[in-house]
Chain A
Amino acid sequence: MYRLLIILIITFPAAVSCEKILIGKDGDNTPVNNFELMWEVIDRNYSFFEYKNINWDSLYHEYRPKIQNGMSDSELFGVLSSMLFELRDGHVNLYSGFDRSRNVEWYSLYPANYSPDLIENNYLRNGIETKGPFLTAILDSIGYVYIGSFSESINDKDIDEVIEKFQGLKGIVFDVRNNSGGYGSSGEIITGRFADRKRLVSYTVYKSGPGHSDFTPPQPNYVVPLGKSQFTRNVVVLTNRRVYSATNDFVLYMSVFPHITIMGDKTGGGGGTPYDYELYNGWRFRIPKTMTLAPNGFNVEHGIPPDINVSLSGRDERDGIDTILEAALRHIEKMSEQKYAN
Chain B
Amino acid sequence: MGKKSKHIFYLLTLIAFPLLTEAKTDSPAAKFLGTAAGYTYGGLRDYGISPLYYGGHHITGEAGYYLYKDSILFNIEAGFSHGTVRPSIYPGPDGSKMKSIKAGADINYMRYAGSIGERAKIFAGGIMVSRFGFYEHNNLMNSAKTNYIYSTINAGGKLTREIDAGSGRYMLLVTVDVPVLAFITRPAYSYIKPEGFLNHNTGNIRSFFSSIEISSINRFTGIGTNVEIERKLSNGNTVRLGYSWEFFDHKNSNRLKSALHGITIKKFFSL
Q: Which residues of A contact B (CB under 8 A)?
A: 1, 4-5, 8-9, 12-13, 16-17, 19, 22-26, 29, 37, 40-41, 44, 97, 153, 181-186, 188, 204, 206-210, 214, 219-224, 245-246, 273-278, 280-282, 284, 286, 290
Q: Are A273 and B188 in contact (CB under 8 A)?
A: no
Q: Are B253 and A26 in contact (CB under 8 A)?
A: no
Tell me how far the C-beta of A305 lies from the nearest C-beta in chain B, rounded to whole angstroms: 24
Q: Is B240 part of the contact surface with A, judged by Cβ < 8 Å? A: no
Q: Are A16 and B223 in contact (CB under 8 A)?
A: yes
Given the complex, which residues of B lie within 8 Å of A29, measured CB to CB?
A: 89-90
Q: Are B50 and A97 in contact (CB under 8 A)?
A: no
Question: Which of the segments B57-65, B100-108, B196-204 contacts the partner chain?
Answer: B196-204
Given the complex, which residues of B lie within 8 Å of A17, measured CB to CB?
A: 245, 261
Report the Cα distance A25→B89, complex, angstroms. Answer: 9
Tell me how far the C-beta of B179 lies from the nearest C-beta in chain A, rounded to whole angstroms: 14
Q: Which residues of B contact A (CB under 8 A)?
A: 42, 44-45, 47, 50-53, 87-93, 96, 116-117, 120, 140-144, 159, 161, 172, 174, 176, 188-189, 192, 194-202, 223, 225, 227, 243, 245, 247, 249, 253, 257-259, 261
Report the Cα distance A12→B161, complex, angstroms. Answer: 15
Given the complex, which residues of B lie within 8 Å of A209, measured CB to CB?
A: 253
Given the complex, which residues of B lie within 8 Å of A181, measured CB to CB?
A: 195
Report the Cα distance A181→B195, complex, angstroms. Answer: 9
Closest residue of chain A to B227, judged by CB? A13
Q: Are A19 and B42 in contact (CB under 8 A)?
A: yes
Q: Are B189 and A206 in contact (CB under 8 A)?
A: yes
Report the Cα distance A183→B196, complex, angstroms. Answer: 5
Report the Cα distance A153→B142, complex, angstroms. Answer: 15
Given the complex, which residues of A lie within 8 Å of B93, measured CB to CB?
A: 97, 282
Report the Cα distance A5→B116, complex, angstroms. Answer: 11
Tell me which of A9, A219, A275 has the highest count of chain B C-beta atoms within 10 A of its own C-beta: A275
Tell me how far the C-beta of B210 lies from the nearest C-beta in chain A, rounded to whole angstroms: 10
Q: Are B201 and A278 in contact (CB under 8 A)?
A: no
Q: Are B195 and A1 in contact (CB under 8 A)?
A: no
Q: Are B225 and A16 in contact (CB under 8 A)?
A: yes
Q: Are B253 and A185 in contact (CB under 8 A)?
A: no
Q: Please pick, from A13, A185, A281, A286, the residue contacting B200 in the complex, using a CB distance under 8 A.
A: A185
In the complex, besides A5-B161, A206-B198, 5 extra interface pairs with C-beta distance below 8 angstroms are A16-B245, A181-B195, A276-B141, A278-B87, A281-B90
